[in-house]
Structure 1
Amino acid sequence: MITVAFTKNREIALGVKTDKGILDVQSALAKYPGESDAPTSVADLISGGEPSKQALARLTDAVYEDDSLFHPEETLTYAPAVPAPSKIICVGLNYKKHADECNMAYPATPILFSKFANALAGHEEDIPLPAASAQVDYEAELAIVIGQRASHVSEAEALSYVYGYCSANDVSARDLQFTTSQWLLGKTCDKFCPIGPYLVSADEAGDPDQLQIRTFVNGEVRQNSNTSDMIFSCRQIISYISRHMTLEPGDVILTGTPEGVITGYPADRQVWLKDGDVVTVEIENLGRLTNTFRKA
């Protein structure tokens, strides 16, 4: 199942992607109350597990002939595909070729840091360039969305705790990031974590460790890799984090970025993101996430 979150009457609504457009779940339930067990929010869909997903599929099938309930994607105002995670956990330096371009050793254990809710942004949302930074960078990343409470899970069972996956951009202000040994300041500026446009359930996403991942800046390919280059696989990341903190349904894990970021370029070729730059993150089976950067 592929879902979106979009803004409707100043609230965040749930939609289902179909070949007719995006089903407005709230409107469908109001018109066809017989499927009242279907979830009406992303949080309810994730926490409800397979029964919620099946109920939403039944609703979609039941109303499919009613064209009035479907919106063209280009008419939506997207919200973050997961609007309210309790945690946004990020993994740094997790692609071999990215570590190589930065002349850094491969880490022995996952490097973890966090972003906060203020960093969330949706597809096509403008991202402000902080006045305090002159070195804003893109980072295409596969986002894991947890589907069940996970504590001390094994690598073998880790993927069974996943609801699905999203495209994400771990936007980073490098000058702020490296001001101290703690990366937080440069990582969680406002809207520095766009995710979406889609939340793709695990059964439709394919093998998360075998997905093509690319970044375009103003149409130019900057990153072109595959999640198979990750140092720590999705299984390893989930298991490792769960041994140190409990993961809850809806938690988001960003799994690192491949080579091709601006900070990996030689100093004389580093042209940082500027007002009007359009950045698209594309991950196989997960869609294209596009944002425009604007001077604050």
Structure 2
Amino acid sequence: MLSLIAAGPAGRQALNRLDRAVSGRIGLDQGKLLAPIPRPRKNVFCVGWNYLEHFEEGERIRASGQPLPERPVFFSKAVTAVIGPYDPIPYDPNVTTMLDWEAELAVVIGKAGKNIPEEHAMAHVFGYTVINDVSARDLQRAHGGQWHKGKSLDGTCPMGPAIVTADALDPNGLRVVTRVNGVIKQDSNTRHLYFKIPRLIAELSWGMTLEPGDVISTGTPAGVGFARTPPQFLQPGDLLETEIEGIGVLRNRVVA
């Protein structure tokens, strides 16, 4: 996928020609579907507090009186966190006992750019995929409130099941759902993004080059486990399903 994305329109045209020439097909059930980008060239870029209701549910827990951010809050997940759409999420109680769910729409960059104007940002998008930003809440707190360590454990970035290209999907108004063992935990819509995709691309690219294949996870809506009463966290055996309308569903079992 990285080489295809980097090839731009010429790569897409070659793929279309190949598609027309193929006489046989292989069913998805005849192989293992990996993450669309199994190992990104860089960390996965992430956005915090990008749904108003999620900020507010966290604020009830923080009780810090922190104002809404005036600019996007960025952090990242290590590339070794990425797993496929149906791969197991590892659970090691010696590392964390507070694995939480965060369904997110992810944007895949298609054209390199730096200091990208907001009005031109969407021309740099290759497509969209689904990510769950699985988070170790106890590690977030243990490391001074910074997010990178608690977000970067191995196997905590399920991605997929495909990349839907930008010409085939409008990212505005997509339903975003998380289910744990069939029970809905998050149910929102990308129309409620606080900072929209063009703003995220413009801000992230300011002074920093974005390259083909870079992944930006745009933030999660309300309904995360740590903000519930009482708090809820993933346990071994749980089935975490992450669904975004028009893209597909991730199904990841938590495995000790």
User: Residue 112 of structure 1 aligns with which residue?
Assistant: 74
Report how far residue 220 of structure 1 moved: 1.1
- Code of the residue aligned with 2:51 in structure 1: it is Y
Partners of 2:169 and 2:180 in 1: how far apart? 25
Partners of 2:10 and 2:28 in 1: how far apart? 26
Report sequence identity in percent. 41
Q: Is the 1:123–1:194 Cα contact (8 Å) retained in structure 2?
A: yes
Report how far residue 216 of structure 1 moved: 0.9
Which aligned pairs between 1:6-155 and structure 2 lie closer than 5 A?
42-63=1-22, 66-67=23-24, 70-87=25-42, 88-103=44-59, 105-130=67-92, 131-155=94-118
- Code of the residue aligned with 2:84 in structure 1: it is G
Q: Does residue 1:163 correspond to 2:163, yes or no?
A: no
In the TM superposition, what whole-angstrom CA distance separates every residue of 1:202-228 from its partner, at most 9, and x where no partner exists?
01122x232111111111111110011
User: Which residue of 234, 237, 249 maps to 1:288?
Assistant: 249
User: Residue 62 of structure 2 aligns with which residue?
Assistant: none
Partners of 1:90 and 1:141 in 2: how far apart? 9
Report how far residue 106 of structure 1 moved: 2.1
Q: Which structure 1 residue ranges, 4+ long, deviate > 4 Å from structure 2?
A: none
Partners of 2:11 and 2:21 in 1: how far apart? 15
Secondary structure class of the residue paired with 1:124: coil
Secondary structure class of the residue paired with 1:97: helix
Secondary structure class of the residue paired with 2:53: helix
User: Which residue of 235, 250, 265 maps to 2:228?
Assistant: 265
- Code of the residue aligned with 1:126 in structure 2: it is P
Partners of 2:152 and 2:72 in 1: how far apart? 19
Report how far residue 82 of structure 1 moved: 1.3
Secondary structure class of the residue paired with 1:185: helix
User: Residue 25 of structure 1 aligns with which residue?
Assistant: none
Structure 2 unmatched runs, 5+ = 60-65
Report how far residue 61 of structure 1 moved: 1.4
Partners of 1:71 and 1:279 in 2: how far apart? 27
In the TM superposition, what whole-angstrom CA distance separates every residue of 1:127-175 from its partner, at most 9, and x where no partner exists?
1013321110010000110001110001100010010010110000000
RMSD over aligned CA atoms reads: 1.2
Q: Is the 1:99–1:105 Cα contact (8 Å) retained in structure 2?
A: no
- Code of the residue aligned with 2:47 in structure 1: it is V
User: Which residue of 212, 221, 235 maps to 2:184?
Assistant: 221
Partners of 1:50 and 1:260 in 2: how far apart? 39
**TM-score of the two chains, using structure 2 as the length reference:** 0.93
Secondary structure class of the residue paired with 1:99: helix
In the TM superposition, what whole-angstrom CA distance separates every residue of 1:234-273 from its partner, at most 9, and x where no partner exists?
100000000031111001111100011101212xx22210
Partners of 1:156 and 1:210 in 2: how far apart? 19
Q: Does residue 1:202 correspond to 2:166, yes or no?
A: yes
Q: Is the 2:101–2:225 Cα contact (8 Å) retained in structure 1?
A: yes
- Code of the residue aligned with 2:89 in structure 1: it is I
Structure 1 unmatched runs, 5+ = 1-41
User: Which residue of 126, 129, 136 maps to 1:173?
Assistant: 136
User: Which residue of 144, 162, 185 maps to 2:149?
Assistant: 185
